[in-house]
């Protein structure tokens, strides 16, 4: 097996610290997921299309715009390589919903579409989502929609402050 490129080696050094990871949008670039699995990390890969993945990597077909949160529960970090800006927010929402970190690289010179801390790696930049939106914003739409669909809730947030109460309005 050929040794990984400096960029791939640096990504592996960061991601191997986690016992369980999910790679979103694996496509045909399977080297990082395969190397993590070979090093003992529990790896799940997702994509909207069926994909072949290396031995030791579990594949699940999933769409980040309508995710199955069970796929992501229990993971420590969700990562995406060459992640286009339009996917940053939905993946961040998934990570929030399952209490995981979200780390990603971007396409070329695209900046992150969400607040993120950059780490310069050889040949790439790894970003980690950093802050949550303020109360009352459109955050956690996945969590709210899942709770509502499940008939749970009791979250009457008619005052729109994100607190889950109605601010005394009924």
pLDDT in tens, 40-89: 999 999 999 999 999 999 999 999 999 999 999 999 999 999 999 999 99
Does residue 116 lie within any of the structural domains? Answer: yes
Cα distances (Å, whole numbers) of residue 27 to 51, 103, 155, 168: 7, 17, 38, 49
End-to-end CA distance of the chain: give it in Å, rounded. Answer: 65
Q: What is the model's pLDDT at position 132?
A: 55
Q: Say what the pLDDT of residue 4 is.
A: 82
Greatest C-alpha distance within the chain:
65
Domain containing residue 101: 6-132
Name the 3-class secondary structure at 149: helix
21 and 80 share a domain?
yes
pLDDT at 146: 38
Q: What average pLDDT does the chain have?
A: 83
What total number of domains does the chain contain?
2
d(CA 2, CA 147) in angstroms, rounded, equals 47
The strand pairing partners of 27, in sequence order, are none
Asked if pLDDT for residue 167 goes beyond 80, the answer is no
pLDDT band at 109 (very low <50, low <70, confident <90, very high): confident
Whole-angstrom distance, CA of residue 8 vs CA of residue 45: 17
**Residue 129 DSSP class:** E
79 and 159 in one domain? no
Query: Cα(50)–Cα(169) distance, rounded to whole angstroms?
Result: 48
DSSP code at position 33: H
3-state helix, strand, coil in the chain (%, to 5): 25, 25, 50
- What lies within 8 Å, CB to CB, of 79 at 6+ separation is 15, 21, 22, 23, 24, 102, 103, 104
1 is a domain residue: no
pLDDT value for 13: 95
CA distance 115 to 164: 24
CATH of the domain at 31: 3.40.50.150
**C-alpha closest to that of 108 among 81, 77, 79, 78:** 81
Q: How many CB atoms lie within 10 A of CB 25?
A: 22
* Residue 126 included in any domain: yes
């Amino acid at each position: 097996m050929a040794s990984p490129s400096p960029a791939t080696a640096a990504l592996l050094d960061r991601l191997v610290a986690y016992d369980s990871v999910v790679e979103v949008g694996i496509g045909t670039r399977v080297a990082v997921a395969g190397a993590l699995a070979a090093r003992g990390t529990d790896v799940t890969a997702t994509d909207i299309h069926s994909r072949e993945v290396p031995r030791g990597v579990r594949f699940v077909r999933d769409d980040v715009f309508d995710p199955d949160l069970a796929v992501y529960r229990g993971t420590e970090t969700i990562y995406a390589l060459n992640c286009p800006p339009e996917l940053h927010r939905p993946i961040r929402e998934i990570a929030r919903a399952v209490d995981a970190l979200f780390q990603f690289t971007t396409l070329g010179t695209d900046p992150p579409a969400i607040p993120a801390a950059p780490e310069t790696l050889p040949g790439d930049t790894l970003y980690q989502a950093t802050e949550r939106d303020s109360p009352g914003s459109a955050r956690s739409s996945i969590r709210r929609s899942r709770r509502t669909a499940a008939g749970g809730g009791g979250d009457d947030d008619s005052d729109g402050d994100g607190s889950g109460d109605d601010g005394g309005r009924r």
